[in-house]
Amino acid sequence: MKIPINIPILGKEEISTVTSVLRSGILTSSANQGGKHVQAFEKSVSSFVKSKYTIAVNSGTAALQAALYALALKKGDEVLVPSFTFVATANAIVSIGAKPVFVDILKENYTIDPDDLQKKITKKTRAIIPVHLYGNVANIERLSEISKKHNLPIIEDSAQSLGSTYKGKHTGTFFEMGCYSMYPAKVMTSGEGGFVVTNNKKLRDKLLMIRNHGMIHGHDTRMFGLNLRLPEINAAIATIQIKKLPNFLKSRKKNAKLLSKLISDLKIKLPHQRKNENVNWYLYTIATKKRDKLLKKLNEKGIGAVSYYLTPVHKTPFYKLKTKLPVTDWAASHVVSLPIHPKVTQKNIEFIAKTIRDML
């Protein structure tokens, strides 16, 4: 039995739309507004997350870069970010010449710790990037207080949280900008791709230029930009996928509920939703002292359990910092994520639960 941690779920509709784009011969567009499929996809996203504007780009990393460029950060500016995340969050900051300052996380849901965040604000701090890790929502109220008190813009890293909400409002829409990924392992995919959402027209206009070498009409570069455009093929796939997303999320929720029921009596830390929170169940993450033995056992049984993230960003060879982040270190040695994507069956969930019970 092989149960991957996540898998792209593609059907005839995606194949058909890709074929249609190929036959059209229009594979991308350097127009300021993007191609036909890019524009259609952006409208679909804005409708889904209830944002005024969506700007499609070619990866989740590109989304973060574009958002940082839109804030006009300079060399030496500091951006506060958790270390317990995929390295792209920090790399995007480094790529624009700014400096990531790593913040600890909350044990309850692995998102940025507002108290540690507050302590690390300096005169050089210019922005905050909280990460809605595993689909869990960061502490919106506290982040909002800190943002207002110190006049700091917030870019939400919502790469893993498309579909997660707090008090009925989607992650990515609480602050200046929200950045998402459509990598194949995410809750929906375009192959490669990402997008930024915002309610600010000035930021939207900047982002449209940034993704297209700073241009508006042809070769009239008005600000620094790069080729961050989303190709028409990827946009066409994404337009189909976002229509399927509500059903994808229902399946994940159902699987998460069943798995929690089957292992709730064990001495492990289970994922849970806070009051007013509705998570997308991108990754069902548990924590246990016996993590390494459990992970080995699950993998031996063909269950694609993974520990995200064994090495926090600040401890990777590139960053190699001695920052003290105790909860981050605890999480790195205790967490394991389990497969609950829509292709996982009830029988699979029961098998995963039995394997965990036998081990623990």
CATH of the domain at 195: 3.40.640.10
Please report the pLDDT score of residue 218 as a whole number.
Answer: 86
Please report the pLDDT score of residue 21 as a whole number.
Answer: 98
Q: Is 185 part of any domain?
A: yes
User: How many CB atoms sit inside 10 A of residue 87's CB?
Assistant: 17
Please report the pLDDT score of residue 179 as a whole number.
Answer: 98
Same domain, 102 and 202: yes
Q: Quick one: which of 195, 149, 154 has its CA closest to 177? A: 154
DSSP conformation class of 216: S
Same domain, 176 and 68: yes
Same domain, 200 and 285: no
pLDDT averaged per 10 residues, the chain (length 360): 94 98 97 97 98 98 98 96 98 98 98 98 98 98 98 98 98 98 98 98 98 93 96 98 98 98 97 95 98 97 97 97 96 98 98 96
Query: Residue 13 belongs to what H/E stretch?
Result: helix 12-24
Q: Using the 3D structure, point to which of 210, 240, 270 is the last residue of a domain.
A: 240
Q: Is 194 part of any domain?
A: yes
Same domain, 185 and 74: yes
Contact of 114 with 149, CB cutoff 8 Å: no
Torsion angle of C-alpha atoms 142, 146, 149, 152, degrees rounded to 10: -140
Q: Is 4 part of any domain?
A: no
Residues of the domain holding 315:
246-359
Same domain, 161 and 118: yes
Residues with Cβ < 8 Å from 17, sequence gap 6 or more? 236, 237, 239, 240
Q: Is 134 part of any domain?
A: yes
Same domain, 215 and 281: no
Same domain, 303 and 207: no
Q: Is 5 part of any domain?
A: no
Please report the pLDDT score of residue 301 as a whole number.
Answer: 97
Same domain, 127 and 72: yes
Please report the pLDDT score of residue 1 as a whole number.
Answer: 66
Q: Is 117 part of any domain?
A: yes
Please report the pLDDT score of residue 95 as a whole number.
Answer: 97
Same domain, 96 and 150: yes
Parallel/antiparallel/unpaired status of strands 99-103 and 78-82: parallel
CA distance 26 to 272: 45
Q: Is 1 part of any domain?
A: no
Instruction: Give the N- to C-terminal CA distance of the chain in Å, as an integer.
Output: 21
Same domain, 220 and 324: no
Same domain, 223 and 262: no
Q: Using the 3D structure, point to which of 240, 270, 292 is the last residue of a domain.
A: 240
Same domain, 218 and 263: no
Contact of 255 with 340, CB cutoff 8 Å: yes
pTM above 0.95, yes or no: yes
Please report the pLDDT score of residue 200 as a whole number.
Answer: 98
With 0-12 / 13-18 / 19 or more C-beta atoms within 10 angstroms meaning exposed / middle / buried, residue 305 is buried
Q: Is 3 part of any domain?
A: no
Q: Using the 3D structure, point to which of 240, 269, 295 is the last residue of a domain.
A: 240
How many domains would you assign to the chain? Answer: 2
With 0-12 / 13-18 / 19 or more C-beta atoms within 10 angstroms meaning exposed / middle / buried, residue 21 is buried
Parallel/antiparallel/unpaired status of strands 125-128 and 155-157: unpaired
Q: In this structure, what CATH number is given to the domain that contains residue 252? A: 3.90.1150.10
- The whole-angstrom distance between residue 300's C-alpha and the CA centroid of its chain comes to 29
